[in-house]
Amino acid sequence: MPGLESDGHEFFGLVLTYDLDRASRRVVEREMQQCNAPTPQQPTDVTVVRRMLAGVEFHGKMIPLTQPPPGMPATAERAQVERTIDPAELAARRFAPADSDSAKLSIGNLAGGNATLVNSPSFIIADLADHPKVQLGTISRSLEGVLGRFSGKYGMPRPPCLVTVYLVSSADKLQKLAKQLHGLRISPQCIGYSIPEDMSMVAIVPGEGIGTLSHELFHLLVRSHFGDVPPWMDEGLAALYESSVVTDSSIVGTPNWRGGILREHLSLIPTLRNLITMDWASFDQSESRDFTKQAVNHATARYFMLYAQKEEKLRDLYRSFRERDVRNLGHTLAEDPVLRVEEVLGGSLTAIEDRFQSWCRLEIGQ
């Protein structure tokens, strides 16, 4: 629109921060170029979009290997599509909580017929890892606790359908099930993943620990509440809760193995400005396929969230980014994350960076 080219350019820039599939990204980029902004920026040319796979959005949690295992192609992509599942079929795997009986039947069939099925108000669990019933009860109670705290802390609505949780005992079985359920070939490094389209999580859960499931549950819930959540916040918060303690009123992340990644790669830790302005492609290093940098970016995001938690600013940060009105920013989109972090955490970004870095070095034992 004449006179609004700059706004249009910023708007399309914002749309590009979403996890778009390649075709949609091209359309937005074309439109963006037509806006002919006074200071044109190069459209982001992302050749690998990690999360959209033939219409399915994939979030995977990986073990911290910085090199691909032997036999695995050197790629940072976390899954490849072998068979496209009709979106209608995925949608048909979502069940209202009141339909738990038919859900058990269908999910049991999908899981291959020998799964133990249990359900709770918000979850249906298909266990293929031979958990004793009492452990499945503990897992579903723990998941209900985490969901309740996410909802209480961030205002995320409870999902209208049951979240389906498939439990397996090994990487082999995870790969087999991913193929069977979602037509995906996943990396052997993958220890769990989630797919919003059928509201499912699939994970290696040998005992009662729900770290990986808490991580994936955050991804599933944030998607319907805060669709353009920036990468550092989406992955930082999901990873924060993979090691966490549920209290009566909250959920609190605790230090974990990602601190070791930072300790080992101090020189690769991005600056805060860099971290909070990264798009998904840079955050995941999906073009360079640099596994080490990818792991460091994720670990930095997690530790920045751990720092914000210590400052009691997590909820305010989440709210500030979620409630921003892109039509009325009063400053550039590129500067927006910096201003928001400064406003919520107090002081200039340089001062925040100093405080974060000194805290982080102590925390990781440097």
Chain contacts with Zn ion (rule: CB under 5 A): 238
Determine the 3-state secondary structure of 231 from DSSP. helix
3-state secondary structure 59-118: EEEECCCCCCCCCCCCCCCCEEECCCCCHHHHHCCCCCHHHHHHHHHHHHHHCCCCCEEE
Closer CB to Zn ion, residue 28 or residue 237? 237
- Residue 208 Cβ vs Zn ion, minimum distance, rounded to whole Å: 21
- Residue 219 Cβ vs Zn ion, minimum distance, rounded to whole Å: 6
- Residue 194 Cβ vs Zn ion, minimum distance, rounded to whole Å: 8
Closer CB to Zn ion, residue 20 or residue 301? 301
Closer CB to Zn ion, residue 238 or residue 314? 238
Spatial neighbors of 74 by CB under 8 A, at least 6 apart, are 68, 289
The number of CA neighbours under 13 Å toward the Cβ of 307 is 25
- Residue 186 Cβ vs Zn ion, minimum distance, rounded to whole Å: 14
Q: Residue with CB nearest Zn ion?
A: 238
- Residue 235 Cβ vs Zn ion, minimum distance, rounded to whole Å: 5
Closer CB to Zn ion, residue 93 or residue 215? 215
Contact of 51 with 20, CB cutoff 8 Å: no
Closer CB to Zn ion, residue 220 or residue 276? 220
Sheet containing strand 123-127, strands side by side: 59-62, 190-195, 200-204, 163-168, 123-127, 116-119
Say if strands 59-62 and 190-195 run parallel, antiparallel, or are unpaired. Answer: antiparallel
Quote the CA–CA distance of 356 and 229 in Å, as a whole number.
22
Closer CB to Zn ion, residue 234 or residue 336? 234
- Residue 163 Cβ vs Zn ion, minimum distance, rounded to whole Å: 16
